Amino acid sequence: MWALVYILNEDRYLTEVLEALLEIGVPGASILDSVGMLQFLSQEIPIFAGFRSILKGSKPYNKIILSVIRDQELLQQALATIDLTVGGIENGKRGILFTLPVEHLIGPGPETLGD
Amino acid sequence: MKTIAGILFLAILALAGHRKSFVKLLPSRAGRFFFLTGTEFLLVGYLLGDSFLGVLDPATLERARPFLIVGLGWIGLLAGIQLEGKALRMFGRASYLWILLYGCFLLLFVSAGLHALLRVWFPADPHLGLAVSVLAVTALCTGQTSMALWMQQASKQKRPLGIVLQFVASINDVIAIVLFGVLIGFHQPAGGGFGLSLPPLEKLAFSLLLGTLMGLLLLMLFRARLGEADKVLIVIGLVLFGGGAAYLLGVSPLLIHLIAGAVLANFSLKSDETFHLLMRIERPLYLIFLMIAGAYLRIGAPLAVLLALAYVAIRALSQGAAGAMFLGRVFRDPAYPRAHALGWGLTSQAGIGAALAVHFHLWIAGPSPPLLLNMTFSVLLLAILFNEVLSPFGLAYVTKET
């Protein structure tokens, strides 16, 4: 069982990625907003547009797609699908994708995890 | 060739400098009053200018003029795009009224003080009114960098006070840009200035029309699904077009791009994306602006320094008085007994103030700009430097808790 974590820098790909994952059989994922460290630090000091930077929600959010996948074959397929959908993660501008082994899972049954 | 080398040199300095600036100068507690807010690049520019090293000589600066106009457009777009109705409604209508009254009284006090002062040295100068107006309008500007740096090291409890200060500063910056645009419409300096000599009302109408059209154009172009590089190209193209049109019509590029930004902010779902796109080069652009402004600076006589000190004093006193009259109503908290003196938290004059200074210089530049207007530019730049040093002390005073 693995957790797939994809930090997507350009949210215009979000819908496409989710649709592609659904198509190959990944049944669910959570989407979180996040801010990169450099983005956070650089946005804190305004020069010309302080008003926008003080407002909540004005930070440049990345999207984190979080999904738990039980089947290794499906996981490999999901990695390839994401890479293909965003036009190559390796160019460094489409975010970071990694997986983690999951030891315990309490919650939804196997049918929701792509088994 | 020298122009290209000069601009490249500035770009390299700005790109290297923006990573080192915008921080607290000293890590110790004693260093909490000293920030690197980018304003120090005014001095770098002064050293690079004709007064010392001569890297940025008058011919190079003259050829850099189109770049400055485009830069002003970029800054205007940034300032305008923050004017999103949804965000502006977060603050009550009464707050806007008090801020507006604060601005009016600040203008009044500064104008009266400066008029009395400048009349002593330039009693019959035909440009006296213009010099006073420009200095009064730029007195409204507040640099937010030192404010943000100060609030960054302050306790979390001070955040609401910091937000109010940034809010007041932002609204006043916008008012200053609009008033400066109007000033450009109503005054065409003899022998100087740029663009066509249109009647003032026509200039204002053109500004409004051009700004709205550019905003709509940007809105239309951004509807398509575009990559980041495409968007940057579109913004650069549009700012070039807007800057050129502003130059030709003799209107303020800052004002027309402010309007375009406001249109985009209120009618586009992607204004956040555009904002962050513009923000990416905000710091290097600002540093280039400061260096060019510094290179323009001529401190020929001690009078400029004396007048700058007097201007700083008049502005601070006016901010204190107008702030006590009106800003105490925008923010009330018993934990901050000095919040009634909120005006002193707005002492820094960099940011939009520096952009307006460069704008002013472009406007008056000509074969023989009047002495008083040249002096006004020097006074403004020196005041920006002095105010940057004073600013953390004003913030410390205002944000002191019981």
pLDDT at B82: 85
Residues of A whose CB is below 8 A from B286: 47-48
User: Would you write out chain B's pLDDT as a tens digit for each of its 402 residues?
Assistant: 777 777 788 888 888 877 777 766 666 665 666 777 778 888 888 898 888 888 888 888 888 888 888 889 989 998 898 888 877 887 888 889 999 999 999 999 999 999 999 999 888 888 899 999 999 999 999 988 888 887 777 766 677 788 888 889 999 999 999 999 988 877 765 544 456 677 778 888 888 999 999 999 988 888 777 777 788 888 888 888 888 888 888 888 999 999 999 998 888 777 777 777 787 788 888 888 888 888 888 877 788 899 999 999 999 999 999 988 888 777 777 767 777 788 898 999 988 999 999 899 888 766 677 888 888 999 999 999 999 989 888 888 887 766
The ipTM of this complex is 0.74
Residues of A whose CB is below 8 A from B282: 47-49
Name the phi and psi angles at A101, rounded to 5.
-70, 140
pLDDT band at A97 (very low <50, low <70, confident <90, very high): very high
Residues of B whose CB is below 8 A from A58: 87, 272, 275
- Whether residue A27 lies inside any domain: the answer is yes
pLDDT at B124: 85
Listed residue (B96, B78, B73, B8) closest to B261, CA to CA: B78
Closest in A10, A48, A54 to B352, CB measured? A48
Q: Is B208 on the interface with A (CB under 8 A)?
A: no
- Residue showing tokens 């006073």: B132
Mutation to test the A interface, candidates B177, B257, B276, B356, most A Cβ within 10 Å? B276
Top-confidence residue, A52 or B174: B174
d(CA B205, CA B188): 16
Q: Is the pLDDT of residue A112 over 50?
A: yes
- Whether residue A73 lies inside any domain: the answer is yes
Structural domain that includes position B210: 2-398
User: Where residue A25 sits, what CATH number does that domain have?
Assistant: 3.30.70.120
Give Dmax over CA atoms of chain B in angstroms.
61
Q: Is A58 on the interface with B (CB under 8 A)?
A: yes
Chain A: residue nearest B75 by CA? A48
d(CA B352, CA B333): 29
- Whether residue A50 lies inside any domain: the answer is no
Q: Is A50 on the interface with B (CB under 8 A)?
A: yes
Q: Is the pLDDT of residue A82 over 50?
A: yes
Q: Is the pLDDT of residue A115 over 50?
A: no
Flag if A52 and B275 touch (Cβ within 8 Å). yes
Q: Is A12 on the interface with B (CB under 8 A)?
A: yes
Q: Is B228 on the interface with A (CB under 8 A)?
A: yes
- Say which residues have a Cβ less than 8 Å from residue B20's Cβ, sequence separation at least 6: B36
CA A44 to chain B, closest CA, distance in angstroms equals 7
Name the phi and psi angles at A39, rounded to 5.
-60, -45
Positions of E strands within B113-200? none
- In three-state secondary structure terms, A30 is strand
Listed residue (B59, B46, B66) closest to B6, CA to CA: B59
pLDDT at B192: 47
Chain A: residue nearest B229 by CA? A93
pLDDT band at A65 (very low <50, low <70, confident <90, very high): very high
Q: What single-letter amino acid sits at B275?
A: F
Residues of A whose CB is below 8 A from B90: 55
- Whether residue A13 lies inside any domain: the answer is yes
Q: Is B147 on the interface with A (CB under 8 A)?
A: yes
Q: Is B172 on the interface with A (CB under 8 A)?
A: no
Residue B29 half-sphere exposure, CB side, CA atoms within 13 Å?
0
Residues of B whose CB is below 8 A from A45: 22, 145, 148-149, 152
Residues of B whose CB is below 8 A from A42: 279, 283
Highest mean pLDDT among A8-17, A67-76, B152-161, B329-338: A67-76
Total tally of structural domains belonging to chain A: 1
Averaged pLDDT of chain A:
81
- Say which residues have a Cβ less than 8 Å from residue B390's Cβ, sequence separation at least 6: B312, B316, B347
Q: Is the pLDDT of residue A61 over 80?
A: no
Q: What single-letter amino acid sits at A25?
A: G
Q: Is B230 on the interface with A (CB under 8 A)?
A: no
pLDDT at A62: 84
Q: Is the pLDDT of residue A114 over 60?
A: no
Residue B46 half-sphere exposure, CB side, CA atoms within 13 Å?
13
Listed residue (B122, B132, B16, B3) closest to B58, CA to CA: B3
User: Where residue B313 sits, what CATH number does that domain have?
Assistant: 1.20.1530.10
Q: Write the CA distances from B219 to B89, B235, B266, B268, B269, integer angstroms.
A: 22, 11, 10, 6, 9
Structural domain that includes position A6: 2-34+62-105
Q: What is the dihedral of CA B3, B380, B398, B76, to 10 degrees?
A: -50
Total tally of structural domains belonging to chain B: 1
pLDDT at A39: 63
| A·B CB contacts under 8 A | 77
Q: Is A106 on the interface with B (CB under 8 A)?
A: no
Closest in A12, A43, A49 to B225, CB measured? A12
- When mean pLDDT is compared across A18-32, A84-98, B56-70, B185-199, the lowest value belongs to B185-199
Q: Is the pLDDT of residue A44 over 70?
A: no
Flag if B144 and A12 touch (Cβ within 8 Å). no
Using only C-alpha atoms, chain B has a radius of gyration, in whole angstroms, of 20
DSSP B322: H
pLDDT band at A80 (very low <50, low <70, confident <90, very high): very high
